Structures are given as structure tokens and as C-alpha cells.
Amino acid sequence: MFLSLKSIELSGFKSFGKKTELVFTSPIAAIVGPNGSGKSNVAEGFRFVLGEQSMKSLRSKRGEDLIWGGSPALPRMNRAGVKVVFDNSKRLLDLDFKEVVVERVVYRDGQNEYLLNGTVVRLKDVIRLLAGANIGGSGYQIISQGEADRILNARPRERREMVEDALGLKLYQHKKAESERKLEDARNNIEKTKSLRREIAPHLNFLRTQVERIEKAREMKEELAVKLNEYLAREHAWITQEDARLRQEEQVQVNELKELTESVSRSRSTTASAGQSTLRELQGTLSEREGKLSEARRESEKLGRELGRAEGALAANTVTVEQIVPVPHVRQFTRELSEVIGEAERESDVHTIKSKLAHIRGRIKAFVEGLSGFAPETNEEVRQQVERLTKSLDRVQEEEKALAGELEALRKEIAKTREAGFAAERDLLALESHVREAQGKLSSVRAARSAIQSLRQRFEEEVREGIALIGEAVHGWEKSHVPEGALHEDDRTKQEKRRREIERLKIKIEESGIGGGDAVIKEFNQTKEREQFLGKELADLESSVEKLEDIIAELEKTIDARFTEGLKHINEALRSFFSKLFGGGYVKLEVEQPKRAARSKIGEEDEGDEWEEREEEDLYAGLSIDVSLPRKKIRGLDVLSGGERALTSIALIFSFVAVNPPPFLILDETDAALDEANSKRYADMIRELGAKSQLIVITHNRATMSAAGELYGVTMGQDGVSKLLSVKLEEAEQVAK
Ligand code: ATP
């Protein structure tokens, strides 16, 4: 027969202070030896290496208790290790190796280490691997000493679990538990995700409103860019045109003013100098001629008088000097002279003074000539004198007339010159008024230029503000052509309207608080992505909840179906073993009415109190045993004797093994309570089972020993170390003592 369990090696485990190996070559191996030699330690070695977590099941309190404690002969060890070797040529275990070595080591600090073919793995990897081969975990694969009737003592619910284990449903139970754990995790995650979404929702809404506002502001900015570009293009064209026009106009005005100013100064100087000197010259000539005229008049008067006297003398025929120069005449002469001198003294003009002096000289000469005259000797002389005087008088009067005409002409000339001066002054005034006018024009052109300068400054300020609001887009105006009508004065009113509209738009944008817009949009997108991610996660979780619920339902169905089917087979096998052992009677495992299991304490007592909520499993049907012995009226487990209980337990264990044979089974003194007749029946059943499962039986019973194909003896010497030796059946009983 194929043996899946090849060997077990114990080193430092409990009483096996030295490395000891058991190699299995027969389907049934028996381990024999005296009490306390270490046989049960071998069975516990199996429990240990297959992943047993209950210290109580290993008859210990701590991990340290499992390590060889030392004796005077052999010092204690720091680790206990057990190794089992499986023949995996038939792929009993789901690993691609012909041989699989499972090893467990415990250290004094309680640390455990699990290895598969020498590689460190997790406990659950070992458990899963073995469970796949219907090894480990079950309460019946290794039946410890005195533990055979555990199934009888168990509560209906635990009993059901043992049967489920025996039927190999543990794997499904594991899967179901795992799925339930996942389901719970998924449900918790759904709650967490929902709560995260609820937390995010108000923030997301807030951000959405912000983003809508930002978007609106962006639209307004785009509108502003279009309007601003048009406005700036118009403004720039207007400013450039006006600036050039006014610059030119200013130049024209400056030139005109310069010309006018020059004309004024020219006119001023010519009018003043030329006009006045001509007038002065004319007035000089006038007074000179006036002097001459009065001299001529005096001459004329004198000649007149002399003529009168000469004519008188001619008439009287005798004329004296006294008669000729009378005293009043001298007085008259002196008065005239002093008058002219006085005039000359008051006069400042040199020409006039000179002419006065000449006049004075003439008068004196004439007077003296009059004094040096002599009395005419004859009337002829007098008549000649009269004649001469008449001629002189005529000449003087002629001269006088000419002078009067000259004076008249001079006066006219003076009046004309004066008039010309006045006209020049009027012209000057007119020029000056033109200058003022030109100055006025120039200053208004300059005012207009400074207004254009202000417009330019405002334009630059508007460009700067535009950059602050819409960035580089503001420069769009530079590329656009000059809009129609921009250069017409009429456009200025419309342009002002545009400006006001732009200002209103700017205020709206500023009020919208667009600052940090990008950061808000980024946060909104991130939050939205997070929300969508959570939404997707929620959908995934909900779908995995559905799938898990389906899996669990499917597993429950499978477990239920297999359980019902398996229980039927177990009951059949049980009945057969039972009647073999008792020679009749009746036994049956029965599913109880489902009971409400509120809170049930499960798990291992030595690992502390472990409570598990089983609310979703509130209905649970346990297993009861209905037993009735042949020839006995009373039914039920409670009335069985110790031996009867042992036999019933054995029938139960063997029925489990028969229905779902594990690769190997370890029975530690399960036959201890049997009498001779039952020991034989037990041995028969062992042989029967041995055909299906590899058996390792620890026994003191010869009948059982005889069923085994190989025998190992365990002894313990003075050093307290368990030793192992292969023995023959004949020696075995001896060794067992
Ligand atoms: P029985 O036939 O009476 O059931 P057994 O052969 O099954 O006996 P075990 O119970 O396997 O005997 O062995 C018990 C022995 O192992 C005891 O003598 C005990 O002192 C020894 N032992 C247990 N743990 C250790 C340990 N950590 N270090 C050394 N010896 C130990």
C-alpha cells in the first residue's frame, strides 16, 4: 500500500532530548513501551508539527515546556523541532515536489517557526496546505490518550463541528469564514467610504460653487480682453494721431509767434527812430526859417522906416543924423536885441541858437551901418537912397514871402510826418494784438498737448491694470488694426462709454475674488477625482459584497449538501462498526431542531476568553446521538458504562475515518479500556481501516500490536531521554513492560 507519511523526526521535543527518527514502512505501525517512556510525546510531536495551537492539547502551559528540559546526563536545549516527511509523488499536497518536509520549531522565548521544504512560511500556509489533503485540524485524526470519548462528551453543536471536520468540510468552512471576513471588511469599507463621501460632499459643493464663480470670472476676463483690446487700439490710435497733429500745430504756432514778435520789434525800432529824427530835422528847419523870416521882417521894417525917412528928407531936402537915428529908434533897437538874446538863451537847439546869433549880428551890423550914415548931401543922393532902399525893401519883402511859403510847406511836412508816425503806431498795436492772439493759440495748443499727455499716461495705466487682470492677453490690441472711426472726434464720446463699461467689468471681476483661482480649480479637480474614486470604490465594494454573499450562499449550500450526504454515510458506517462491537443495537447521529445561538463561547480556553458574535448564524442545528444497546431497554449516552462509552467512541471515530479516510490516523491508547474480546474486534477493525488510511497506534494491547506491520519500542533510561528501537512482536510485549 502507498504510504503518504514517510517519517517523523523529533529533536529536543519533550523527552526526545536527542534527535530521533521514526521511519514508517507499514500501513499500520504500533508504538509500544512502558508508562512514561515518551510514547504520547510522539503523538504530540505529530500534533505540534501539524500546527496545533492549543498548549493544553500538547499537555503544556508555554512553548518552553515543549523543549527538552535537560537532565544530569544531557543539558537542556534551546529549541524543539519536529519534522515530518510526506511522499508527495501522488500530489497529496498541493506542491510541485515529490517529497514535502513540514517542520516546526519552537524557541525558549515562545517564538515558533514553520518551514516547508526548508523555506520559512506562515502558519496559515501550512494549515491551508495540509487542509487541502484532509490532514490536521480535525479532532479525530490524532486521538490522544483518554480523549476517545471527547465526541460523546461534546455539546451537540461542537459535535456537529467535529463531524463537519471529519467530512473534510473544514476547507469549505475556512473558505466561508474567509469570505465572511472579507464580507465584513467590505461592509465596513462601504460604511467608511460612504462616510468619506459624506465628509467630502459639502467641501466639494463649496468648491464647485467657487469654480463656477471662477469660470464666470474667466468668461468676464475673456469679454474684458476683447473690449479692452478694441478700446486700447482706438485710444492708442487717437493719442498717436492727436499728438502728431498738435506737435505740428505747436510748431506752426511757435513759428508764427516768432515771426510776429520779430515784426513787432522791427516795427517798434523803425517807427521810433526814423519818424522822430525826420520830425526833429523838419522842426529845426522850421525854426531856422522862422528866424530868417522874422529877420527879413525886421529888415523890411527897417528898410521901410529908412525909406520913409529918405522920402521925408527928399521932401525936406535936409536931413541930419539925429533925424535919421532918433532916440526911440535906439531904444527900440536895444529892446529887440535883448528880446532875441533872451530867446537864444532859452533855446536848447544849437541850430536855432546859431540862427539867433546870426540874426543878432545882422541887426547890430544894420544899426551900425545906420549910425555911420551920413546926411545926404543932395536930394539926388536922397533920391538914389530912396531908390536903393525901395529896391532893398522889395528884395527883402520878396525874401519874406518866399520864407513864408517855405514855412507853410514845412508845417505841412511836419503834420504829414506826424500823421505817418501815428499810422505806424497803429500798425504796431495791430501787430501786438496779433502776437497776443498767437500766444493764446500756442498756449491752447500746449494745453491740448498736455491733455493728450494725460491721456497717454492714463492709457499706460490702463495697460498695467489690464496686465494685472488678464495678463499678456492685454497686448492683443497691438496686433489688431486701427478700428474704423477711431481717428474721428465723434468716436470720443463712444470711447468714453467703452471706458466706463470696461471699468464696470473690472469692478465685477475684482468683486468675484478670482485670486488663487488655479489653486481652487486644482483642489476641486482633486476632490472630484477623489469623490469619483470613492464612488467607483463603493460600486466595486458593493459588487464584491454581492459576489461574496453569492460565494457564501454557494458554500453554505455545498456544506449543507455534503454534510447531509456525509452524515448519511457516517451513520451507515457507524451502525456497522457499532453492531460489530456490540453484536447488535442501534446508534444514530441526528440533526437537532435548529436552536437560536445567541452568544456562544468558542475557541480555546487556554488562549483566553474569545467571544465571537454569531448573530447572523442565529439558527444552528447541533448533532445528538441516539444510542441503544442490544438487550438493554434504557437508551441514551448517559447510561453507558466506561467500556461501552469507549466502544461507542471507537465506532464513531472509525465511522468518520471510513467515510472520509485521512492519509494517516494516530490512535494513542484508544484501546486502553477494552476487554480481551473487544480488543480482538478492535484489532480487526484496525486492520480494516489500515487498508484505507495509514495508522500509527500507541498501545499496550497485544491484539492491537499483532495487527501492526511494524513495531517501535520506546524506552527511557536513567538519563530521562526517550529512545526508539524497532522491535519484533515477540519482543514488543517485553518492551512494553
Ligand atoms: P504512558 O504509557 O503512561 O501513557 P508515555 O509513554 O505516553 O506513558 P509520555 O507521556 O509520552 O509517556 O512521556 C512522559 C515523559 O516525558 C515524562 O517522563 C516527562 O517527564 C517527560 N517529559 C515531558 N516533557 C519533557 C521535557 N520538556 N523535557 C524532558 N522530559 C519531558
**Residues 613-628: pLDDT tens digits?**
444 445 678 899 999 9
By the 8 A CB rule, do 249 and 445 touch?
A: yes
Q: Is residue 596 packed enough to be buried (19+ CB in 10 Å), middle (13-18) or exposed (0-12)?
A: exposed
pLDDT for the residue 475: 84
CA distance 208 to 226: 27
Probe residue for ligand 1, chosen from 10, 32, 40 as the CB with the greatest number of ligand atoms within 8 Å:
40
Helices vs strands, H then E, count in the chain: 16, 18
Q: Are strands 710-716 and 595-596 parallel, antiparallel or unpaired?
A: unpaired
CA of 120 to the centre of ligand 1 (A): 29
CA distance 705 to 713: 11
**DSSP letter, residue 525:** H
Name the closest-CA residue to atom 17, ligand 1.
36
Residue with cell 483661482: 517
Give one word for 701, left, alpha or beta, with left for phi > 0 and alpha for psi -120 to 50. beta
**DSSP letter, residue 13:** B
Q: Is 41 in the pocket of ligand 1 (CB under 6 A)?
A: yes
Name the closest-CA residue to atom 5, ligand 1.
36
Return the sign of the alpha-carbon dihedral for residues 529, 532, 538, 541: negative
**CA angle at 197 for the pair 192 and 201, rounded to the nearest 5°:** 150
Question: Domain-by-domain residue ranges, the chain?
Answer: 1-135+662-737
Q: Is 68 in the pocket of ligand 1 (CB under 6 A)?
A: yes
Name the closest-CA residue to atom 3, ligand 1.
35
Q: Is 37 in the pocket of ligand 1 (CB under 6 A)?
A: yes
Closest-lying ligand 1 atom to the alpha carbon of residue 68 = 28
**CA angle at 645 for the pair 639 and 647, rounded to the nearest 5°:** 135
Name the closest-CA residue to atom 9, ligand 1.
38
Q: Is 38 in the pocket of ligand 1 (CB under 6 A)?
A: yes
Residue type, 162: M
Name the closest-CA residue to atom 11, ligand 1.
38
pLDDT for the residue 296: 86
Q: Is 51 in the pocket of ligand 1 (CB under 6 A)?
A: no
Q: Is 145 in the pocket of ligand 1 (CB under 6 A)?
A: yes
Q: Is 48 in the pocket of ligand 1 (CB under 6 A)?
A: no
**DSSP letter, residue 594:** P
Of 74, 98, 103, 97, the C-alpha closest to 8 is 103
CA of 15 to the centre of ligand 1 (A): 6
Probe residue for ligand 1, chosen from 8, 10, 15 as the CB with the greatest number of ligand atoms within 8 Å:
15
Name the closest-CA residue to atom 18, ligand 1.
36
By the 8 A CB rule, do 534 and 193 touch?
A: yes
By the 8 A CB rule, do 568 and 163 touch?
A: no
CA of 64 to the centre of ligand 1 (A): 15
- What H or E segment, with its residue span, contains residue 102? strand 99-107
Q: Is 713 in the pocket of ligand 1 (CB under 6 A)?
A: no
CA of 685 to the centre of ligand 1 (A): 29
Probe residue for ligand 1, chosen from 8, 10, 14, 700 as the CB with the greatest number of ligand atoms within 8 Å:
14
Name the closest-CA residue to atom 12, ligand 1.
36
**Total count of residues recorded for the chain:** 737
Q: Is 229 in the pocket of ligand 1 (CB under 6 A)?
A: no
Which segments of the chain have a pLDDT < 50?
Answer: 374, 600-617
Probe residue for ligand 1, chosen from 11, 37, 42 as the CB with the greatest number of ligand atoms within 8 Å:
37
Q: Are strands 610-613 and 599-602 parallel, antiparallel or unpaired?
A: antiparallel
pLDDT for the residue 74: 93
CA distance 572 to 308: 213
Question: 260-269 contacts: CB < 8 A, separation 24 or more?
Answer: 260/431, 260/434, 260/435, 260/438, 261/435, 263/431, 264/428, 264/431, 264/432, 264/435, 267/424, 267/427, 267/428, 267/431, 268/428
- Take residue 619 and report the three cell numbers written for it: 439558527
Of 282, 277, 295, the C-alpha closest to 409 is 282
By the 8 A CB rule, do 108 and 114 touch?
A: no
pLDDT for the residue 616: 44
Q: Is 15 in the pocket of ligand 1 (CB under 6 A)?
A: yes
- Take residue 357 and report the three cell numbers written for it: 546869433
Strand partners, 722: 716
Q: Which residues of 199-282 form beta strands (DSSP E)? A: none
CA distance 655 to 573: 5
CA of 650 to the centre of ligand 1 (A): 25
CA of 672 to the centre of ligand 1 (A): 18
Q: Is 498 in the pocket of ligand 1 (CB under 6 A)?
A: no
All residues at 6 or more sequence positions from 733 whose CB lies less than 8 Å from its CB, including other chains:
32, 702, 705
Cα distances from 55 to residues 76, 140, 600, in angstroms, run: 20, 18, 22
Cβ of 562: how many Cβ atoms within 10 Å? 16
Q: Is 405 in the pocket of ligand 1 (CB under 6 A)?
A: no
CA of 22 to the centre of ligand 1 (A): 17
- Take residue 385 and report the three cell numbers written for it: 537912397
Residue type, 396: V
Cα distances from 87 to residues 96, 134, 411, 486, 508, in angstroms, run: 12, 15, 167, 102, 86
Closest-lying ligand 1 atom to the alpha carbon of residue 71 = 29
Name the closest-CA residue to atom 29, ligand 1.
15
CA distance 341 to 279: 26
Cβ of 349: how many Cβ atoms within 10 Å? 13
CA of 310 to the centre of ligand 1 (A): 212
- Take residue 131 and report the three cell numbers written for it: 487542509
Of 224, 694, 220, the C-alpha closest to 499 is 224
Closest-lying ligand 1 atom to the alpha carbon of residue 34 = 2
Closest-lying ligand 1 atom to the alpha carbon of residue 33 = 6
Strand partners, 668: 698
Q: pLDDT tens for residues 660-684?
A: 888 999 999 999 888 888 999 999 9
All residues at 6 or more sequence positions from 401 whose CB lies less than 8 Å from its CB, including other chains:
none
Closest-lying ligand 1 atom to the alpha carbon of residue 714 = 6
Helix ranges restricted to H, 317-349: 321-324, 327-346
CA distance 103 to 115: 5
Residue type, 298: R
Quote the mean pLDDT of the chain.
87
Q: Is 69 in the pocket of ligand 1 (CB under 6 A)?
A: yes
CA of 20 to the centre of ligand 1 (A): 15
Radius of gyration of the CA atoms of the chain, in A: 78
pLDDT for the residue 603: 45
Helices 676-690 + 517-582 axis angle, to 10: 130
Q: Is 14 in the pocket of ligand 1 (CB under 6 A)?
A: yes
CA distance 318 to 695: 223
Name the closest-CA residue to atom 27, ligand 1.
14
- Take residue 587 and report the three cell numbers written for it: 446508534
All residues at 6 or more sequence positions from 657 whose CB lies less than 8 Å from its CB, including other chains:
140, 166, 665, 689, 692, 693
Q: Are strands 5-11 and 20-23 parallel, antiparallel or unpaired?
A: antiparallel
Question: Does the domain made of 1-135+662-737 have the CATH classification 3.40.50.300?
Answer: yes
All residues at 6 or more sequence positions from 552 whose CB lies less than 8 Å from its CB, including other chains:
176, 179, 180, 183
Q: Is 39 in the pocket of ligand 1 (CB under 6 A)?
A: yes
pLDDT for the residue 609: 44
CA of 37 to the centre of ligand 1 (A): 6
Name the closest-CA residue to atom 24, ligand 1.
14
Residue type, 103: E
**DSSP letter, residue 283:** H
Name the closest-CA residue to atom 26, ligand 1.
14
- Take residue 377 and report the three cell numbers written for it: 548931401
CA distance 574 to 682: 14
pLDDT for the residue 101: 97
Q: Is 36 in the pocket of ligand 1 (CB under 6 A)?
A: yes
Closest-lying ligand 1 atom to the alpha carbon of residue 700 = 2
CA distance 454 to 431: 34
Of 224, 186, 10, the C-alpha closest to 723 is 10
CA of 716 to the centre of ligand 1 (A): 9
How many CA atoms within 13 Å lie on the side-chain side of 461?
Answer: 8
